Amino acid sequence: MKKDSNNYFGKGNTPPPYSILGLPLEIKSDDVSDEGKFKGWGSTFGGKPDSYGDVVVKGAFKETLENGGRNGTGIAMLYQHNSYEPIGVWTVMEERDKGLWVEGELDLNVQRAKETHSLLRKGAMRGLSIGYDLPRLPDGTRDPGACEFIEQVNGQYIRVLKKINLWEVSPVTFPANIQATITSVKDFEGCKTERDWEKALRELGLSKSAAQYIVKLIKPSLRESGAQDESQDELGAMLAELRNRSKRACDF
């Protein structure tokens, strides 16, 4: 069943301005204390790509952890990615050889935190998702060292995440990529072919199948424009269409 992203992201029906990376939560129910403290692996490095074709490598979190998150204000612990529902604090978050080690404490004075605590203890909540974006250079362009696309023997691509900005880490019911939000015309400047658009969408966090699906939906608009270099107005119009179309990619 498709998850209603409007309800999922909470108050204001506004998705977060970053990508969601679904990861396994390696936390045993026995590791959750009566006081709401828990610990475990939030992300593991390397290995087989996830269902969205992404692989995180060692060092990806190093800079963002040193900087205190994306804006230097800390890394939030949210309930199901809802920025209106913080449920606790991360007391330890560090890179180790295996991956991202996290230790947190739920604020049991908060109703959602109490619910999360109960679900974690019973093993009913087993997912963890990371809210992140890829860093940009001072001129606004994407840092070329943030990720790399590697073509496989079968013609498919995997995206290797080498450097990310971490916004928040959320315990969730389903560790899945709900929606990568398209936020800026700059993300699509220079896109001249369907392949260019697909790559730009992948860089924003969409899976390969979701990116292909969206490109298929907007293909008529691409043909109608006919221009090799779209104007800002044309890009803006296409961006608005992409924002709407991307909601339909949640099942991919």
> Can you tell me which residue has the tokens 């991360």?
90
Residue in 209, 214, 168 with CA at minimum distance from that of residue 187: 214
Over its C-alpha atoms, the chain yields an Rg (Å, rounded) of 19
The alpha carbon of residue 93 and the mean position of all alpha carbons in its chain are separated, in whole angstroms, by 18
* C-alpha count within 13 angstroms, C-beta hemisphere, residue 85: 20
Give me the percent of the chain exceeding a pLDDT of 70.
Answer: 63
Residue of 11 and 109 predicted with greater confidence: 109
- The mean per-residue pLDDT over the stretch 196-200 comes to 79
Q: Is the pLDDT of residue 22 over 60?
A: yes
Residue of 252 and 158 predicted with greater confidence: 158
CB 200 within 8 A of CB 235: no
* C-alpha count within 13 angstroms, C-beta hemisphere, residue 120: 30
Residue of 48 and 17 predicted with greater confidence: 48
Highest mean pLDDT: which of 82-91, 133-142, 155-164, 171-180?
82-91
Torsion of Cα atoms, 58 then 150 then 202 then 84, to 10°: -10
Domain borders along the chain are 1-177, 179-252
Structure confidence at residue 4 (pLDDT): 38
Q: How confident is the model at residue 43 (pLDDT cuts 50, 70, 90)?
A: confident
pLDDT tens column, 150-167 = 877 677 778 889 999 999
Between the alpha carbon of residue 54 and those of residues 147, 150, 191, the distances in Å are 10, 10, 22
Structure confidence at residue 171 (pLDDT): 84
CB 28 within 8 A of CB 40: yes
Q: Is the pLDDT of residue 53 over 80?
A: no
Give me the percent of the chain exceeding a pLDDT of 90.
Answer: 19
- The mean per-residue pLDDT over the stretch 215-237 comes to 58
Residue of 250 and 109 predicted with greater confidence: 109
| Per-chain mean pLDDT for the chain | 73
- The mean per-residue pLDDT over the stretch 8-35 comes to 62
Structure confidence at residue 115 (pLDDT): 94
**DSSP states along 63-121:** HHHHTTSTTSS--EEEETTEEEEEEEEEEEEEE-SSEEEEEEEE-TTSHHHHHHHHHHH
Structure confidence at residue 198 (pLDDT): 81
Structure confidence at residue 149 (pLDDT): 83
Structure confidence at residue 217 (pLDDT): 72
Q: Is the pLDDT of residue 92 over 90?
A: yes
- The mean per-residue pLDDT over the stretch 191-198 comes to 79
Structure confidence at residue 136 (pLDDT): 86
